[in-house]
Structure 1
Amino acid sequence: MLKNALVLSLFVVATLCKPLHKRWDDFKVKHAWVDGVPKGWEVIGPAPPEYRLAVRIGLRQDRIDDLIAHLYAVSDPNHHRYGQHLTKGEVEILSTPHPDSTSLVEDWLSHYGLLNSPECQLTRSSSGDWISLSIPAGQLEQMLGTKYHVYKHTATETTLIRTTSYNLPSILHEHVTVVTPSTYFGRPKPQDKTSFIQSVGKTLSETATDLGINDAHDAHKHTVSPTCNSKITPSCLNALYNISYTPVSTKKNSLGVAGYLNEFANHADLKLFFAGFRPDAVYGDFNIVQIANGGNNQSDPGVEANLDIQYTLGLTYPTPNTYYSIGGSPPYIPDGNTPTNTNEPYLSFLDFILDQGNIPQTITTSYGDDEQTVPRDYAEAVCNGFAKLGARGSSVLFSSGDSGVGGGDCLTNDGKNRTEFLPIFPASCPYVTTVGGTNGTAPERAALFSGGGFSNYFGRPSYQSQAVETFLGTLGDQTYTGLFNASGRGFPDVAAQGLNFQVVVGGKIYSVGGTSASSPTFAAVVSLLNDARITAGLPSLGFLNPWLYTEGFKGLNDIVSGNNPGCGTDGFKAVKGWDPVTGLGTPNFGLLKHLVVNRTTVGGRTKKWSVDKGLRRPWFS
């Protein structure tokens, strides 16, 4: 009896010490669309099983909470570590997955013969939190317990390969954050771009006649011309936003524009733009960096791309500007059965930029999707990527969208078909600075299209708690009850002009509107502020929001009129203080420059910001 008990106990110990058998077919849903095929898409047929997909597997970052804590510490002007941005290596240390996560995912890939297969072209991000590889669609279906299909967007006939749901083995759920491409359909052009053409193109001479002024070329004129109410130029923005500054630290400071969807910035159009609106910069130009097979077709200029680069460089010359052309489509051999495979572009950009030793101090992006159409796992992974850029000292700005509180039928896609305001992503990410739109000059007021509202994915960050609570107090208890998430991250954070921008496209000038104009405008102001700080021996501003809500708002023009209708309502109203239409307001560069180089202390005294070279970093571990 004793012998049997001993044998049994030894068996139990041996069993406990033996690694558990991993079941790769014990599936649990990772993400699924309740309504099946998203609106606007139709199924063409099953994905060719041999078609190779460029797959990214996101591993859970073991210290992401520590990274976010560091981000807030170096971004809070009242913290002793303000401005001590993390290095690339420090961010990578905080982004590294737990060894158990890496081991389990490698076992999973080995089970399918993918870990050391030359055909898979497996690569890892610097910190190991992303694994990229090429996998046949049929094999990926086995790994994720799903079926991939070819889908066509009915309005644009764009095709891609996606699934409406996918699973992961239960053992991997705590270790894998997202697998792409999977359930993120996105919206192909032109819906993604937050800009729109207001008038047909004219020649430069015709537009100059319309302006009716000879001093439109004065880059630093500070009298706002009446024509600026109908046609915005760099001189209008300089006058309206009190910009009178020539960049000095052009070897250290730079600005980046992220472009997607085959939108190409054109060198020839920029020269014409400068000839008409800023002759002193006529020899200025921008760099182009192509990412993930992004193109550079100079015979096909894009309205969005030209708008962005003409106004960032038009306001910041001679600061180096870089246009990032992001494709997100892997190489493929087209035939009758193989469609193009548009990959998730934000991840392509983040993969590239976070791997660079030097990154622009300011980055602007003018694209977005309805938040509810972006899978939460994907949104969180992308948002964390922007947090990493902020931690490294880059100010990341996004346009807030052009549909007010929501466009279309404003129905939820969770199977309940409730009417609800529709927030925009990545504008709703708490680690970016979101820019709404205004128009007019006397007074400046909220543009009717200015996107704004509250996230359903991301909770309200502490930096805006008081400002948002104050706004909600103006609404009353019954206004729009149930139409928005009052505890969510509120956006936009700031605003800038968004109508009547004069943009050269294909040699002609168009009047262009949208928060796509607002984001590059505010980004240009931030870039000039970064130049002023760097020239004074100070670090770049980095993640702006904690500073904006505690001190930066003192250098903004509060917008108190206008609203952003949508979803069959008048939307929110612009009020004193923060509001989900124009945020904290539009820039006054002169005041902002004083704030970023100096600061007002208790008692009204002004002192210089302290400088910490960060040579000793005992706080990082």
Structure 2
Amino acid sequence: MLWLSTFVLVLVQLSAAKPLAGKRWDDVAVKHAWVEPPRGWELHSTPPEDHLFDMRIALKQNKLDELISSLFEVSDPTHARYGKHLSKEEVDALVAPHPDSVEAVEAWLEHHGINPADAEFRSAGGEWITIRVSIAQAERMLNTKYGVYHHAASDSYVVRTMEYSLPAELHSHVDVVTPTTYFSTLRSMRATSFVLPQTSSLVGDAESFAADISPLAVPASCGSTVTPACLRAMYNTTSYVPKATATNKLGVAGYLAEFANDADLQTFFQKFRTDAVGGTFSHVQVNGGQNSQTNPGIEANLDIQYTEAISFPTPNIYYSTGGSPPFNQDSNTPTNTNEPYLDWLNFILNQTTIPQTFTTSYGDDEQTVPQDYATTVCNMFAQLGARGSSIMFSSGDSGVGGGDCLTNDGTNRKIFQPAFPASCPFVTTVGGTTRVPEVAVSFSGGGFSRYFAQPSYQAASVAPFLKNLGTKFSGLFNATGRAYPDVSAAANGFQVVIGGRTTSVGGTSASSPTVAGVVALLNDFLISEGKPPLGFLNPLIYSTAKTGFNDITSGSNPGCGQTGFTAGAGWDPVTGLGTPDFLRLQALVG
């Protein structure tokens, strides 16, 4: 009996000294799985076992609830903490993982022969760890098999898996591991702009046209041929001159191997805003982003030309975020994971000083993004908002859904298809309008998330719409989900200079930079008055600033073989709260 007691005591002491020594890493459970390859993808081949790539591990954030509570408090105009945004250090402290999570993940890495000290990257808060692994290592760690998948429409090849698993005890410590089941690539990611046929000869006489526009009389031609003068008049920014240009900045996030062209911006200014000639913007290249100044992108030029056109002389920054080269079956060269939001967000969150306003014109069908991945990325946008940045996203150009709208869960049901990141509750999503007076444009993306619950800030505004809708479209959308868009702006006939020539471009990717330009001016006004910037907009615009928008009451957004939602009085999932009126908003936020 004495011998047994001594033996038990020794075991207890050993367990206390090495709490992780007895963990069973082979007790695994599925983290995420697809029932079939996402639509458009097919298995092509098996990657070499020694193919190297960067695996990213997102550890659960110990004080995420506190971060989100802080975000809402500093963004609520009725709260005592309104405008008291968090510093980078304060945010980093809130997103840091619990020491137990760090210990568990590092022990798991060591079990697989990986020294945590050799990590390629650790975020400032410690919630992201990037390690370089081979296919063979990753398959052992995640109890899976990787394949090379081909996307015929874009001729893209990526290394992904249909499912992955983690040891059961790691599920409470890890949010997501990538690259695994998120199949979207930079090539198949949808930029929402598209080229339109020229509808007017107005472009050749832009200077005289601009002189004829006043805020009190916007010509109907602005509904089909949109210039900076049109937008400045429509949204009441013409008379405002920015003052806080030493502090206030506007950031444009770009992907798809696109960059904005300096010469085209000058040509654009010469045609459409002569007082801005000579104005420039900063280029920041992230993760191998391009900036060769040859063959500029339609989306990139659209974004920077219209943020500049409205916010000038506010400093603008274009972030060109790169993606990996096409997968080479014979290559042993490490590649990145080709998951752009993570690349850009990890970069921007690591900066000490960040722009007060951002716009992004890219997105995917929500159902094509694994929910754990979408949630992790959405929470990263919350970090930006907590630090005082306003983040605009295009709502998409497929109405309530594009394509066949079939679910990818094996049931092949036809339902409305929300978009992500438009459906994230921590961004401000921008829909589209057309014509003068404005009506909803038919392609304006809008609807209700199936991943994210309806946030409290919009409940009172969304309820009347749902009540009036009644049982129409019952079962086709999630009435309790985060509703979008939040606001809207013109989306048709934007005059964009590409390669020296003026082209007509449409899409809600024109709407997002337009609203971002207006928001940047509001931030300029506040900063020049010694006040903090707006930060996360939604709690403000759904409450005390609600009357600062022009309500759009006609038009609809068909899709999925259905007529789609209809714009009406108040908020609607076609145009949101409406289009911005800078002067009204200036009075409301001041």
* Aligned counterpart, 1:59: 59
Deviation at 1:209, TM superposition (A): 3.6
* Aligned counterpart, 2:398: 403
* Aligned counterpart, 2:308: 313
TM-score by length of 1: 0.91
Name the CA shift for 1:218/1:292 in 2 (closer, same or farther; >3 Å): farther
* Aligned counterpart, 1:22: 23
Aligned residues of 2:361 and 2:509 also touching (Cα < 8 A) = yes
Deviation at 1:470, TM superposition (A): 1.3
- Note the 1:534-613 alignment, pairs <5 A: 534-597=527-590
Name the CA shift for 1:30/1:219 in 2 (closer, same or farther; >3 Å): farther
Q: After the TM superposition, which segments of 4 or more aligned residues of structure 1 sit over 4 Å from their partners?
A: 2-18, 217-222, 332-342
* Aligned counterpart, 1:81: 81
1:139 aligns with 2:137: yes
* Aligned counterpart, 1:529: 522
- Note the 1:30-179 alignment, pairs <5 A: 30-35=31-36, 37-115=37-115, 121-179=119-177
Task: Decide which of 457, 468, 487 is 2:462's aligned counterpart.
Answer: 468
* Aligned counterpart, 1:215: 209
* Aligned counterpart, 2:295: 300
Separation (CA, whole Å) in 2 of partners of 1:460 and 1:214? 47
- Note the 1:372-411 alignment, pairs <5 A: 372-411=367-406
1:227 aligns with 2:225: no
What amino acid sits opposite 2:576 in the alignment? G
Q: What SS does structure 2 have at the residue aligned with 1:29?
A: strand
Q: What SS does structure 2 have at the residue aligned with 1:496?
A: strand
* Aligned counterpart, 1:490: 483
Separation (CA, whole Å) in 2 of partners of 1:63 and 1:235? 46
Aligned residues of 1:222 and 1:242 also touching (Cα < 8 A) = no
Q: What SS does structure 2 have at the residue aligned with 1:522?
A: helix
Name the CA shift for 1:522/1:221 in 2 (closer, same or farther; >3 Å): same
1:445 aligns with 2:439: yes
Q: What SS does structure 2 have at the residue aligned with 1:368?
A: strand
Show CA shifts across 1:548-585 (max 9, x none). 00111111000100010011111111111111110001
Q: What SS does structure 2 have at the residue aligned with 1:383?
A: helix
Deviation at 1:434, TM superposition (A): 0.3
What amino acid sits opposite 1:47 in the alignment? P
Name the CA shift for 1:432/1:473 in 2 (closer, same or farther; >3 Å): same
Aligned residues of 2:43 and 2:147 also touching (Cα < 8 A) = yes
Show CA shifts across 1:222-267 (max 9, x none). 5312321220000000111111211100001000000001111111
Task: Decide which of 283, 286, 292 is 1:288's aligned counterpart.
Answer: 283
* Aligned counterpart, 1:265: 260
Name the CA shift for 1:217/1:112 in 2 (closer, same or farther; >3 Å): farther
Aligned residues of 1:217 and 1:278 also touching (Cα < 8 A) = no
Name the CA shift for 1:345/1:302 in 2 (closer, same or farther; >3 Å): same
Separation (CA, whole Å) in 2 of partners of 1:97 and 1:391? 18
Deviation at 1:111, TM superposition (A): 1.7
Name the CA shift for 1:191/1:104 in 2 (closer, same or farther; >3 Å): closer
Name the CA shift for 1:552/1:221 in 2 (closer, same or farther; >3 Å): closer
Deviation at 1:333, TM superposition (A): 9.6
Separation (CA, whole Å) in 2 of partners of 1:273 and 1:413? 43
* Aligned counterpart, 1:604: none
Q: What SS does structure 2 have at the residue aligned with 1:215?
A: helix
Deviation at 1:221, TM superposition (A): 6.0
Separation (CA, whole Å) in 2 of partners of 1:117 and 1:595? 51
Q: What SS does structure 1 have at the residue aligned with 2:195?
A: strand
> What are structure 1's unaligned runs of at least 5 residues?
598-621
Name the CA shift for 1:549/1:221 in 2 (closer, same or farther; >3 Å): closer
Name the CA shift for 1:56/1:16 in 2 (closer, same or farther; >3 Å): closer
What amino acid sits opposite 2:298 in the alignment? V
Separation (CA, whole Å) in 2 of partners of 1:187 and 1:408? 18
Q: What SS does structure 2 have at the residue aligned with 1:173?
A: helix
Deviation at 1:503, TM superposition (A): 0.4
Aligned residues of 2:48 and 2:329 also touching (Cα < 8 A) = no
Separation (CA, whole Å) in 1 of partners of 2:166 and 2:412? 28
Show CA shifts across 1:367-394 (max 9, x none). 0000000011110110000000000000
Separation (CA, whole Å) in 2 of partners of 1:47 and 1:175? 29
Show CA shifts across 1:385-430 (max 9, x none). 0000000000011000000000111111111111110000000000
Separation (CA, whole Å) in 2 of partners of 1:494 and 1:563? 15
* Aligned counterpart, 1:180: 178
Provide the alpha-carbon RMSD of the alignment.
2.1
Name the CA shift for 1:414/1:531 in 2 (closer, same or farther; >3 Å): same
Deviation at 1:355, TM superposition (A): 0.8
What amino acid sits opposite 2:48 in the alignment? P
Aligned residues of 1:217 and 1:276 also touching (Cα < 8 A) = no
Deviation at 1:6, TM superposition (A): 4.7
Deviation at 1:297, TM superposition (A): 2.2
Show CA shifts across 1:532-555 (max 9, x none). 000111000000000000111111
Aligned residues of 2:224 and 2:434 also touching (Cα < 8 A) = no
What amino acid sits opposite 1:418 in the alignment? R
Aligned residues of 1:241 and 1:588 also touching (Cα < 8 A) = yes
Separation (CA, whole Å) in 2 of partners of 1:264 and 1:219? 31
TM-score by length of 2: 0.95
Q: What SS does structure 1 have at the residue aligned with 2:305?
A: helix
Aligned residues of 1:254 and 1:361 also touching (Cα < 8 A) = yes
* Aligned counterpart, 1:614: none
> What are structure 2's unaligned runs of at least 5 residues?
none
Separation (CA, whole Å) in 2 of partners of 1:242 and 1:3? 88
